[in-house]
């Protein structure tokens, strides 16, 4: 039950770029890598341990072997043997498609999947980079359908300029897209269900238009304008600063320039640390993992304490 690290699962996309390699140091030769899945139990993309005595084993194997020790009793009772969140870094050299995700009920009925609530932490943004989050006014269902037919959807959307440290909470049903020039950390429910509604009429490497999911999306969209997505959070040094607390995950911001020790004896959940700046080592009494910007570690729920040593690092701390 030492701190576990995993081999990145790299995803090629027509909108991907080189920041996962050039900024985060991933071992990538491609010029169009869009995603690095850091901790995943999505079927077909299950993380493999890269460090220590469990090296080469899958995250799912470890869960099946001892679910409460790895995930926590309350997490196991709630999710069984399914790891409930997916951790990624995303590099958008080009605009991503306009999309949204269904809620738990719809995703279960249609895809036998969790829904997909997610959050973004912006790590790097080119000048003028922006995100699309929600509508710029309340929109009717028929109006939205007509805008898709008329190729005018972009006129209805809300654009948010971004810079490093900006954080966004994307609940299910909210239309959204990551804009060109943005590198971010993403924390989400374990789900790969996405409804793409607009893709700038782009074609894939085979010259084909990418599939849209408009019919499925229409019943899943939240058509109301809501200013509930921008996350304001404290950045106090050497403290645990709350960012997001939702039913699917909890995320804190650690802005450290010295050692931090936490008692985890009452924390009945795994803990994931994503390094978004600087360097640190994470120890739990059973082992130590080194983190640099763009690296991730999973602390099993059986850990009774954690010590983070650094002279300068920013970490996202994720639990259930």
Cite the annotated binding site for Zn(2+) by residue number.
101, 118, 176
CA distance 234 to 252: 10
Whether 203 is a known active-site residue: answer: no
Q: Where do we find the tokens 């991730």?
A: 296
Question: Which residues are part of a known binding site?
Answer: 101, 118, 176
Sign of CA dihedral 193, 199, 203, 205: negative
CA distances from 61 to 5, 86, 268 (A): 15, 17, 20
**Annotated active-site residue in 78, 141, 196, 267:** 196
C-alpha span between 274 and 66 (Å, rounded): 24
Active site residue ranges: 196
């Amino acid at each position: 039950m030492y701190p576990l690290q995993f081999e990145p699962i790299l995803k090629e996309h027509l909108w991907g770029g080189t920041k996962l390699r050039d900024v985060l140091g991933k071992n990538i030769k491609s010029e169009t890598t869009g995603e690095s899945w850091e901790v995943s139990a999505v079927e077909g993309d299950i993380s493999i341990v890269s460090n220590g005595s469990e090296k080469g084993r899958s995250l799912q194997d470890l869960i099946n072997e001892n679910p409460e020790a790895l995930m926590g009793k309350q997490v196991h009772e709630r999710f069984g043997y399914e790891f409930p969140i997916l951790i990624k870094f995303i590099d958008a050299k080009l605009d991503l498609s306009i999309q949204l995700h269904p809620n738990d009920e719809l995703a279960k009925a249609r895809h036998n999947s969790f829904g997909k609530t997610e959050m973004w932490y912006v790590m790097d943004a080119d000048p003028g980079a922006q995100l699309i989050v929600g509508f710029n006014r309340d929109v009717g269902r028929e109006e939205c359908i007509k805008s898709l037919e008329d190729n005018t959807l972009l006129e209805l959307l809300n654009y948010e300029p971004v810079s490093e440290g900006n954080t966004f909470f994307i609940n299910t049903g909210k239309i959204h897209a990551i804009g060109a020039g943005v590198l971010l950390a993403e924390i989400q429910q374990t789900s790969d269900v996405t409804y793409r509604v607009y893709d700038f009429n782009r074609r894939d490497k085979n010259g084909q238009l990418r599939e849209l999911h408009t019919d499925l999306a229409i019943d899943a969209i939240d058509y109301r304008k809501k200013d509930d997505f921008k996350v304001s959070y404290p950045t106090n040094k050497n403290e645990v600063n709350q960012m997001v607390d939702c039913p699917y995950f909890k995320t804190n911001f650690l802005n450290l320039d010295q050692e931090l020790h936490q008692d985890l004896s009452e924390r009945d959940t795994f803990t994931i640390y994503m390094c978004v700046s600087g360097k640190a080592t994470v120890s739990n009494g059973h082992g130590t993992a080194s983190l640099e910007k763009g690296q991730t570690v999973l602390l099993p729920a059986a850990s009774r304490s954690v010590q983070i040593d650094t002279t300068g690092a920013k970490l996202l701390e994720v639990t259930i």
